[in-house]
């Protein structure tokens, strides 16, 4: 087992972080066309650590897709799709 096998657990961690930060952002966001931008500004300025939650959610999505590609690439590289026990 090499370091390539850690990306499955990182995917779970990224997904949990995305869900938690998404819920916190959804608590303060309004989707009305007139107030959507001001609600994002409210999250960044007035909510405690709102800027951090927003950045974690945005960067976590990118890291999530990087982990997905590396996780799939590891499976293709090592030929894990050939293992009958997996399926």
Three-state secondary structure string covering 28-66: HCCCCCCCHHHHHHHHHHCCCCHHHHHHHHHHHHHHHHH
Predicted pLDDT of residue 82? 87
* CATH at 65: 1.20.810.10
Confidence of residue 1 (pLDDT cuts 50, 70, 90): low
Residue range 13-39, pLDDT digits in tens: 999 999 999 999 999 999 999 999 999
Span 32-62, pLDDT tens digits: 999 999 999 999 999 999 999 999 999 999 9
Number of domains the chain contains: 1
- DSSP H helix total and E strand total for the chain: 3, 0
Structural domain for 75, as ranges: 3-82
Question: Per the domain annotation, does 71 fall within a domain?
Answer: yes
Q: Is residue 87, in this structure, part of any structural domain at all?
A: no
| Domain-embedded: residue 10 | yes
Quick check: 80 pLDDT over 90?
no
Residue 74, judged by CB atoms within 10 A of its CB (0-12, 13-18, 19+), counts as: middle
């Amino acid at each position: 087992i090499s370091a390539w096998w850690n990306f499955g657990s990182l995917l779970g961690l990224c997904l949990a972080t995305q869900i938690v930060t998404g819920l916190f952002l959804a608590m303060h966001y309004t989707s009305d066309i007139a107030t959507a931008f001001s609600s994002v500004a409210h999250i960044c300025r007035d909510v405690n650590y709102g800027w951090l939650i927003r950045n974690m959610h945005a960067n976590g999505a990118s890291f999530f897709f990087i982990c997905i590609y590396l996780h799939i690439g590891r499976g293709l590289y090592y030929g894990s799709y050939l293992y009958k026990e997996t399926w």
